């Protein structure tokens, strides 16, 4: 087994390698003067089971091309099996036609990864489960809920007294999975989206008065929706509001919005490299390296991955 890393998240790649007690495969992933991607694998991979770890986060197009070219280089070097490990799958929010003459970019990206030569895909908390069906190769979608539930148990007394909140109707199943692990109650924020990154709270389903709340979602991008939902919950009588989110995209002024918001804290995983953004005291990072590392070990040994979530 070999583990190859692109440039999207070197710290996570090293943490996964340390968990597996495995050195990262020697390779050069660089740029030509005109910014084209150039990849050279500096050790023999013929007949090897190779895992390529690369989040397609910002800059999404550059990181996606790195992934595709790494896969192509490994395919031409006669690797036996290539698994694309995407802790964060970019373009996932474009998973259906939202109007006339619009693309389904998540399907396009899945086709690119497959045609590049990947034999299977390992990712975490896809924006929607249907994206697994976009791939014509085996795809494992890891769940961050067990990892984050353990963090909640370590940092909160009586987790069962918490109220888990889904920040929208579409995330109810995800929030319910976390609530079930904590034996906690569930509430829902009914928000209406007026455009990309723009939404407003229309209603709160459930009694949040006098409760400690944890909002749970898969992606925080601009943080506008998250912060406005937190304010609405405080206005409705909540004692405190925290947020647990798997993928901390945190684009633009997101960190400043979190800093100025009523949120007690925002907890994200390191599926996206947040080293230069998660500098505020309100933002805390939980490593997903043990989860991804264990999944890689199980795939390499032909063991069950779903057992991780029992």
Query: Catalytic residue numbers?
Result: 191
At 58, give phi and psi (nearest 5°). -60, 135
Q: Tell whether residue 221 is among the known ligand binding residues.
A: yes
Q: How far apart are CA 140 and CA 93, in angstroms?
A: 18
Q: 248: helix, coil or strand?
A: strand
Of 175, 189, 258, 179, whose CA–CA distance to 218 is shortest? 175
Q: Tell whether residue 25 is among the known ligand binding residues.
A: no
Q: Tell whether residue 127 is among the known ligand binding residues.
A: yes
Q: Tell whether residue 155 is among the known ligand binding residues.
A: no
Q: 47: helix, coil or strand?
A: coil
Q: Tell whether residue 274 is among the known ligand binding residues.
A: no
Overall size of the chain counted in residues: 310
Question: Which strand ranges, in their side-by-side order, compose the sheet holding 185-195?
Answer: 198-205, 185-195, 163-166, 212-220, 240-248, 266-269, 283-286
Q: How far apart are CA 268 and CA 73, in angstroms?
A: 33
Q: Tell whether residue 168 is among the known ligand binding residues.
A: yes
Q: Tell whether residue 224 is among the known ligand binding residues.
A: yes
Q: Which residues of 98-134 are buried (b: 16+ CB within 10 A; e: fewer)?
A: eeeeeebebbebbeebbebbbbbbbbbbbbeeebeeb
Tokens of 254: 């997101």
At 268, give phi and psi (nearest 5°). -125, 165
Q: Tell whether residue 247 is among the known ligand binding residues.
A: no
Q: Tell whether residue 93 is among the known ligand binding residues.
A: yes
Cβ atoms of 171 and 126 closer than 8 Å: no
Q: Tell whether residue 34 is among the known ligand binding residues.
A: yes
Q: How far apart are CA 56 and CA 49, in angstroms?
A: 22
Q: Cα angle at 264 between 156 and 149, to 5 degrees?
A: 35
Distances (CA, A) of 162 to 140, 188, 224, 254: 30, 14, 23, 26
Which residues sit in the known binding site for ATP? 34-36, 93-94
- Which residues make up each annotated binding site for Mg(2+)? 127, 168
> Which residues are annotated binding-site positions?
34-36, 93-94, 127, 168, 193, 217, 221-225
* Residue list for the binding site for D-ribose 5-phosphate: 193, 217, 221-225
């Amino acid at each position: 087994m070999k583990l190859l890393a692109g440039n999207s998240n070197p710290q996570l790649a090293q943490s996964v390698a340390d968990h597996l007690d495995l050195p990262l495969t020697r390779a050069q992933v660089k740029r030509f003067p005109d910014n084209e991607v150039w990849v050279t694998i500096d050790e023999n991979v013929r007949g090897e089971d190779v895992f390529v770890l690369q989040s397609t986060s910002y800059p999404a197009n550059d990181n996606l091309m790195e992934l595709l070219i790494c896969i192509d280089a490994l395919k031409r070097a006669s690797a036996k099996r290539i698994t694309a490990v995407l802790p964060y799958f970019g373009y996932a929010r474009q998973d259906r036609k939202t109007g006339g003459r619009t693309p389904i970019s998540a399907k396009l990206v899945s086709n690119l990864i497959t045609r590049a030569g990947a034999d299977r895909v390992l990712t975490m908390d896809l924006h929607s489960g249907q994206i697994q069906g976009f791939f014509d190769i085996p795809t494992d979608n890891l769940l961050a809920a067990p990892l984050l539930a353990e963090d909640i148990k370590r940092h909160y007394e009586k987790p069962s007294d918490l109220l888990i909140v889904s920040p929208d109707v579409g995330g109810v199943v995800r929030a319910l999975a976390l609530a079930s692990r904590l034996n906690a109650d569930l509430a829902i924020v009914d928000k209406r989206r007026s455009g990309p990154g723009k939404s407003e709270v229309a209603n709160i389903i459930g009694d949040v008065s006098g409760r400690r709340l944890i909002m749970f979602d898969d992606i925080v991008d601009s943080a506008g929706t998250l912060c406005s939902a937190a304010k609405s919950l405080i206005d409705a009588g909540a004692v405190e509001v925290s947020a647990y989110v798997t993928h901390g995209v945190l684009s633009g002024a997101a960190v400043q919005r979190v800093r100025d918001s009523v949120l007690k804290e925002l907890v994200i995983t390191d599926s996206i490299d947040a080293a230069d953004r998660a500098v505020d005291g309100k933002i805390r990072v939980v490593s997903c390296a043990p989860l991804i590392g264990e999944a890689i070990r199980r795939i390499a040994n032909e063991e069950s991955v779903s057992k991780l979530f029992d």
